[in-house]
């Protein structure tokens, strides 16, 4: 009887162990929010991968946020890091091709994905995403949609890593100096323009600027505008929508004292706001704030600032300008594509996105528990209104145009309207004709 009881107990234990081994999942193996698992890598052969991080924030970020955690997770992996330097990415990747070696893993911005596509450098990640059960719905939707525009709506040539968003930065000291209330989240362009009127002035030989709204091609995306007419495929910037944008900008710079006498400040909010510190409010990209403010603080200078949501149009409330991003791509030439995907999969996992957010970069995961950790490792960001970056809906970039320098042509028209007082209707008609003519010549 005792023997039978012992046999029954042993059999029960064996069945329990088998059940856990076959169907159970330990906490360490549960998929994270991005679909990434934390199981140990199966490939243990020593491998050196070439890494190209298109990041101008310094070697420290690349080492601490990318290289160190990856080599800890994948002990068999080492990296040959190619430093970012040359701003012309088309030239950079043509050089890689000419040299016969394209980096295994590449971190590039949204615009550079176009270069990877045209040069046929990047592999389509779709099958790897499916194979590894990555749930792309966990990423910020607009980031994925933007990437799909380069793959005809199907191929995904890069996996979003971190975002770059526009925000309205303001100098508290200038507001305090002139006794003007600080800007608030949720302002419209009309309200921001009115606020600017109380700030733009010249005092003791210093021109204080009220509001710098950024460039028209960014603001236009708040109204869903594009260079191209989707029906004809031709340039069409001589429209009511574009006229509304330029007339709004004209209204801002028509405020007495608000148009910079120093023309180098016209399209450079960072210089006017952070370096010269003569601008009260300016539309800036988040990525440009941290390194520039850090440089000011390193010089022992004081700078009292904060951010609020980017102003919006009344007919499109809570709609911010287009979302930019940095993303991971894998070389079509790489002999280690599966391992490379394991690595970028890991870097976009929940835990790694938290570490990325703590370093000051806006995470690509659409997860409040990750977004709330933004800037934790940067002491001087404590108390800043960082959640303003997540309050509005960011739009998609305009259709990429590679045949002509569309942005450069529009920026020239922008300056002509403001500094040469060219009529908006005339300027846009001439721009439309010039851009279409250039497109024809480029064929």
- Domain positions in the chain are 48-164+325-371, 166-322+397-442
Point out which residues pair with 324 in neighbouring strands.
Answer: 164
Query: What is the CATH number that goes with domain 166-322+397-442?
Result: 3.40.190.10
Q: What is the pLDDT of residue 45?
A: 87
Q: What is the pLDDT of residue 56?
A: 61
Mean pLDDT of 367-373: 97
Would the CATH topology of 48-164+325-371 be identical to that of 166-322+397-442?
yes
Sorted by sequence, the CB contacts under 8 Å of residue 294 that are 6+ apart come out as none
Q: What is the pLDDT of residue 247?
A: 98
Q: What is the pLDDT of residue 11?
A: 38
Residue 319 phi, psi (nearest 5): -110, 110
330-351 burial: b if 16+ Cβ within 10 Å, else e: bbebbebbebbbbbbbbbbbbe
pLDDT of 300-359, one tens digit each? 999 999 999 999 999 999 999 999 999 999 999 999 999 999 999 999 999 999 999 999
* C-alpha span between 418 and 292 (Å, rounded): 27
Point out which residues pair with 375 in neighbouring strands.
Answer: none
pLDDT of 120-149, one tens digit each? 999 999 999 999 999 999 999 999 999 998
State the sign of the Cα–Cα–Cα–Cα dihedral 307, 313, 315, 319: negative
Judge whether residue 6 has pLDDT over 50. no
More confident residue, 28 or 95: 95
Using CA atoms, how far residue 94 sits from 91, 120, 125, 127, 405, in Å, is 5, 11, 22, 26, 19
Mean pLDDT of 229-237: 92
Q: What is the pLDDT of residue 14?
A: 39
CATH assignment of 48-164+325-371, given 3.60.10.10, 3.10.180.10, 1.10.3720.10, 3.40.190.10? 3.40.190.10
Query: 217: part of which helix (H) or strand (E)?
Result: helix 216-219
pLDDT of 82-124, one tens digit each? 988 888 888 999 999 999 889 999 999 988 998 999 899 999 9
Least confident of 3-7, 318-322, 397-401: 3-7
Residue 2's pLDDT band (boundaries 50, 70, 90)? very low
- Give the tokens for residue 424: 């908006």
pLDDT of 170-223, one tens digit each? 999 999 999 999 999 999 999 999 999 999 999 999 999 999 999 999 999 999
Q: What is the pLDDT of residue 41?
A: 59
Place of tokens 């934390």: 38
Judge whether residue 15 has pLDDT over 80. no
Judge whether residue 227 has pLDDT over 80. yes
Q: What is the pLDDT of residue 429?
A: 98
pLDDT of 47-86, one tens digit each? 999 999 987 667 888 999 999 999 999 999 999 999 888 8
Give me Rg for the CA atoms of the chain. 26
Is there a contact between 93 and 119 (Cβ–Cβ < 8 Å)?
yes
Mean pLDDT of 399-426: 93
239: left (phi over 0), alpha (psi -120 to 50) or beta: beta
Using CA atoms, how far residue 297 sits from 300, 301, 342, 384, 385, in Å, is 5, 6, 38, 16, 19
Is there a contact between 33 and 348 (Cβ–Cβ < 8 Å)?
no
For the chain, what percent of residues have pLDDT higher than 90? 79
Sheet holding 201-203, edge to edge: 201-203, 206-212, 279-285, 166-171, 305-308
Q: What is the pLDDT of residue 149?
A: 85
């Amino acid at each position: 009887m005792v023997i039978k009881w012992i046999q029954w107990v042993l059999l029960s234990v064996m069945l329990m162990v088998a059940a856990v081994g076959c169907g159970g999942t330990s906490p360490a193996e549960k998929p994270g929010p991005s679909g990434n698992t934390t199981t140990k890598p199966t490939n243990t052969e020593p491998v050196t991968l070439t890494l190209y991080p298109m990041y101008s924030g310094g070697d420290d970020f690349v080492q601490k946020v990318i290289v160190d955690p990856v080599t800890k997770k994948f002990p068999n992996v080492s990296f040959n890091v190619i430093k970012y330097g040359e701003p012309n990415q088309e030239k950079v990747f043509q050089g890689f091709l000419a040299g016969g070696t394209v980096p295994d893993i590449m971190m590039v911005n949204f615009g550079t994905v176009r270069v990877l596509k045209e040069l046929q450098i990047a592999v389509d990640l779709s099958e790897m995403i499916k194979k590894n059960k990555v749930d792309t719905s966990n990423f910020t939707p607009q980031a994925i949609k933007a990437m799909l525009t380069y793959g005809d709506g199907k191929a995904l040539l890069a996996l979003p890593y971190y975002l770059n968003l526009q925000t309205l930065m303001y100098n508290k000291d200038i507001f305090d100096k002139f006794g003007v209330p600080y800007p608030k989240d949720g302002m419209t362009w009309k309200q921001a323009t009115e606020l600017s009127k109380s700030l733009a002035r010249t005092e003791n030989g210093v021109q204080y600027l009220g509001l710098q709204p950024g460039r028209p091609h960014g603001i236009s995306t708040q109204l869903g505008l594009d260079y191209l007419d989707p029906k004809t495929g031709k340039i069409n910037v001589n429209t009511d929508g574009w006229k509304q944008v330029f007339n709004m900008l004209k209204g801002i710079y028509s405020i007495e004292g608000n148009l910079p006498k120093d023309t180098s400040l016209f399209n450079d909010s960072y210089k006017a706001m952070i370096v010269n510190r003569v601008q009260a409010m300016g539309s800036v990209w988040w990525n440009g704030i941290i390194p520039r403010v850090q440089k000011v603080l390193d010089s022992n200078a004081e700078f009292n600032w904060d951010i609020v949501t980017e102003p919006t149009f009344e007919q499109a409330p809570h709609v911010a300008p287009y979302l930019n991003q940095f993303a991971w791509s894998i070389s079509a030439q790489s002999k280690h594509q599966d391992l490379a995907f394991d690595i970028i999969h890991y870097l976009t996992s929940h835990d790694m996105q938290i570490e990325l957010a703590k370093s000051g970069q806006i995470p690509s995961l659409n997860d409040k528990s990750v977004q709330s950790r933004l800037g934790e490792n940067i002491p001087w960001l404590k108390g800043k209104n960082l959640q303003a970056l997540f309050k509005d809906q960011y739009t998609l970039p305009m259709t990429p145009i590679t045949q002509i320098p569309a942005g450069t042509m529009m920026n020239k028209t922008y300056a002509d309207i403001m500094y040469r007082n060219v009529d908006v209707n005339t300027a846009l008609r001439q721009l439309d004709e010039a851009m279409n003519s250039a497109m024809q010549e480029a064929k």
